[in-house]
Every structure is written in structure tokens, then in C-alpha cells.
Structure 1
Amino acid sequence: MTRQFRRDDPAEVTVPTADPDRDGLANLLELALGTRPTRPDGRGAIRPRTVQADGRDFPALVFDRPVDRSFLNYTVEVSGDLQTWTSGSTVTSEPTVTASDVPGFETVTIQTRETLSESGPVFLRLRVD
């Protein structure tokens, strides 16, 4: 992440949780998604979608990531109230990874196990560590 910043940049700008370009993505997410932490280009990097399978609709998150980010863990968390977040194989499917239109990137889709009609309100977020 340090190659995105100058040596004289203040620490509060370069920490993983900072968002110096104010695009809503912290530096760690910018690294994980291949966007630039110093340029507000993060809009649309994480896309909510509905995935259809067996005639049913499932909430999902879709995002592109650089293929060389295997040192990071990407987790979709699910909540019904924005207070309690759950992750893992009981609430989400295994990621579907396909080639991206952008060279050096891959597209990842992670859907919930419950359909839209089964789940009631549902919120998804991407956690990276």
C-alpha cells in the first residue's frame, strides 16, 4: 500500500482505515479492489446484484479484484438489521470467480444462501483483511 503514497504523507492518510480521497473506500479496500486511494475512483467497485438460480432470486455482491491479491481475505457479511453481521458458509455461497474484462483482474460473485423472498430485509457488505 505504501507505493500509493509519498514518504512525506502524514500517517493519518496512509493507515489502512483512512479514506484520503473520500470515495467511501478505506485504503485497505482500495488495495483489495485495485483502485487508487488517492483518486476518488471507488464508486461502483462493489456492486449489489440479484443472482438467479433454479428460478429463485438471491442477493449478491459482485466486485473485481486484481489477480495478485491472494494474500488478502475477502468476506461477504450478511445482516438483517445493520447491527449484527454474520459470515461463512451458513449464510453465503462459495465465491464464483470469472475472468474480468479488465486485464489482470477477476470478477467475484458471492451470493446469500437465502432467497430474497425467504430473507426479509437483507444487507450485505464486503470485509477485507
Structure 2
Amino acid sequence: MGLPLFTKAVWKTVKNTNNSHIKVKDYIGIYRDNWFGNVEVFINGDKLWIKSHKLPKFNGEMYFYNSNTFAIKWKYQDMNANAFAMFSLDEKGKAQSIKMKGISPSINFSFHFQYLD
């Protein structure tokens, strides 16, 4: 069974998007959430990554999708729960907070991404 069409379209968009205008330093930081604990956005090699300090399987590379949204491909793929990370930015373009939601419309509801804030 392959990826749903919407999910395939997301990764096609990621692949074809020019992200040279993104200032990754504006997204780096530690964000606090009651469920995920401390969520850190950082540079791993030359790539933007995200990880939850409380939930080690939520650790993966971030790919620019559009506007203020990144697609996350978790390192641990057995979960089948790749997600969007949508940042709220201040007036200078610096990230202030993150919200998340699953990329696949059929993602298991138990991941509770919608509660990350």
C-alpha cells in the first residue's frame, strides 16, 4: 500500500520548492509544550531538525514546504506519522511558537499533533 495522494503531493512540493530564501536561524530554538515537553529546532550537519526531549522517537529532519510551514520526516518511520510544523513569526520573521498536524489525512489520531502549541 503506497502513500495517499495528498501525502505524495506534499513530498513532491517539498522536492520542487526553492528554499534558498529561508533563514533557518530564525527557527532555531527550544519551544515548550505540556505534552511533547521541550521541543528543540536545531541544525544537524547542514539541515534543520526537530526533536522532542521527552519523546525521543519524535526526532527528524525538517523540509521547507511553504510560507512558515515545514514538513517533518521522522527518523523513526515505523510510526507513519510525518507531520507539518507551522511556525508563528514575530514582526521580524523570528519564530515564536509551533503548531503541528499530521501530513496524512489518515494519520492515527493518538499522535495528538493538534495539541502541540
TM-score (norm 1): 0.26
Higher strand share: 2
TM-score (norm 2): 0.28
Higher relative CO (Cα under 8 Å, sequence separation at least 6) belongs to 1
Higher helix share: 2
Q: Bigger radius of gyration, 1 or 2?
A: 1
